[in-house]
Amino acid sequence: MKALRAVFAPGYVGLVLLFLYTPIIVMMIMAFNQSELYQLPFVFDLKWFRALAHNDDLLEAAANSIIIAIVNTLLSVTLGTLTALALSRHHFRGKAWFELLLLPSLTMPWLITGTAMMLFFFWTGIGRGLHAILLGHVALSIPYVVFIVRSRLKAFNRSLEEAAQILGASAWQTFWRVTAPLLAPGIVAAALFAFALSFDQFVISYFLAPIGISTLPVEIYSAIRKGFTPEINAISTLIILFSMGLMIVFARLSKFAGEP
């Protein structure tokens, strides 16, 4: 039985990974195929990357997505981390209700959330635009950041903060020299998640984007409706390689997987 499990387990995991990554690998390979219609045999060519360099709509949409994702990450991580600290370190009236109200935002369909935000922004005069998309992404990201950072806080050793204060450190010094470094893996993980959530967000961006301005997911959707082009494969390949490289570097430098 042990020999059977030793053969079955890696085979099963390999099949799952093959199921997950085969479509992505095929898309990346076809980004280098000369044919526009995925015709075989495969002929290596960088024509779609050269075409991408002159596709102003895709590049502008990608720039919008990157800027919104970066600003969203900074705002949502700051607000979410402070919220997590407040919920974990302080007791106040209505705390249980605050914690409970964070859960529906995680489970509510994004279609409903996007519709509600669009109606609310029109009603309040905020309207549609990149600023509205940013507000929507921040509202969507904060609950995820709160739960990720709180999971790190649950394993946090408060005696280290007490020791620093006994040795004469102020509350500000204790936070920056003890609390923040120990929370850093959770904060970085929350930041990566918030960035990915914002960069990949389609529904809320679609509802809040004005005419003539869009993010990359919305632009890709519009391009597919008009007629698919391998330039989408090219920009998707660049995004995948960048994100995978970023995650590998983070894992190597932080040793996040091996920390308690």
pLDDT (tens digit per residue) in 201-219: 889 998 998 888 888 888 8
pLDDT: is 254 or 196 the higher one? Answer: 196
Residue 73's pLDDT band, with cuts at 50, 70 and 90, is very high
pLDDT > 80? residue 258: no
Q: What are the structure tokens assigned to 217, written together?
A: 């997911």
pLDDT > 60? residue 168: yes
Residue 260's pLDDT band, with cuts at 50, 70 and 90, is very low
- Taking residues 33-49, report their average pLDDT: 82
Calculate what percentage of the chain has a pLDDT beyond 70.
93
Which of 20-34, 66-80, 88-102, 168-182 shows the highest mean pLDDT?
A: 66-80
CA-nearest of 140, 182, 145, 141 to 163 is 182
pLDDT > 60? residue 157: yes
CATH architecture of 57-228: Orthogonal Bundle (1.10)
Rounded to the nearest 10 degrees, what angle do helices 110-124 and 130-154 cross at?
130
Domain residue spans of the chain: 57-228
Rounded to the nearest 10 degrees, what angle do helices 180-200 and 56-89 cross at?
140
pLDDT > 80? residue 110: yes
| The pLDDT value given to residue 250 | 65
| The pLDDT value given to residue 78 | 93
Lowest mean pLDDT among 88-97, 150-159, 170-179, 248-257: 248-257
pTM here? 0.81
User: What angle is formed at CA 244 by the lines to CA 239 and CA 247, rounded to 5 degrees?
Assistant: 125
| The pLDDT value given to residue 254 | 53
